[in-house]
């Protein structure tokens, strides 16, 4: 008889790579969706060399719709927006409201993307996202865009 009982190891909470840009929290009550929409509108209006797209991971779905989008490639934790520019460059942004934090699946995906060489960030404002993009080489000249 084995005197030692195997105790399952508790999974460690994923931690975000400290090199990933995270915009500081704020007290603005604006929700995540409005913040993201402002960024998308700003990019589309002012930065013709950039292409921005959303990844609709969130949202309420019926069981049938959830199964359908999963078959189509929906992936839990994927960042909210991707932004592409010349020479095949792409950066990924996870959007949060003023106090929001990424969940474990988002942390794991952001870390994986970062380890593969993709620029990734957690942003709260269009300005913060544009500053992040500029820092990773995107053709962003703020000027009078905001």
Q: Is residue 76 part of a domain?
A: yes
| pLDDT, tens digit (0-9, with 9 covering 90-100), for 76-118 | 889 999 999 999 999 999 999 999 999 999 999 999 999 999 9
- Per-residue confidence (pLDDT) for residue 56, from 0 to 100: 80
21 phi-psi bin (left φ>0, alpha ψ -120 to 50, beta other): beta
Cβ 102 vs Cβ 114: under 8 Å: no
- Residue 107: which CATH number? 3.40.1350.10
Summarize the chain as % helix, strand, coil (round to 5).
30, 15, 55
Q: Is residue 41 part of a domain?
A: yes
Cβ 61 vs Cβ 69: under 8 Å: yes
| pLDDT, tens digit (0-9, with 9 covering 90-100), for 42-69 | 999 999 999 999 988 766 667 777 677 6
For the four alpha carbons of 65, 66, 71 and 72, in that order, the dihedral sign comes to: positive
Count of domains in the chain?
1
List the domain range (segments joined by +) for residue 49: 22-135
Q: Is residue 7 part of a domain?
A: no
Q: Is residue 141 part of a domain?
A: no
Q: Is residue 126 part of a domain?
A: yes
Task: Write the CB contacts of 98 (distance below 8 Å, at least 6 apart in sequence).
Answer: 25, 26, 27, 28, 29, 30, 124
């Amino acid at each position: 008889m084995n005197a030692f009982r195997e105790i399952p190891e508790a999974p460690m909470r994923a931690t975000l790579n400290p090199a990933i840009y995270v915009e500081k929290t704020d007290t603005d009550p604006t929700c995540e969706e409005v913040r993201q929409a402002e960024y998308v509108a700003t990019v589309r209006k002012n930065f013709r060399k950039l292409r921005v797209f959303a990844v609709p991971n969130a949202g309420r779905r019926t069981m049938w719709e959830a199964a359908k989008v999963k078959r189509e490639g929906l992936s839990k934790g994927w960042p909210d927006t991707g932004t592409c520019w010349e020479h095949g460059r792409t950066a990924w942004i996870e959007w949060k409201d003023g106090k929001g934090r990424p969940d474990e699946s988002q942390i794991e995906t952001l870390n994986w993307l970062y380890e593969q060489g993709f620029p990734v960030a957690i942003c709260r404002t269009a300005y913060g996202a544009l500053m992040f993009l500029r820092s990773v080489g995107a053709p962003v000249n703020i000027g009078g865009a905001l």
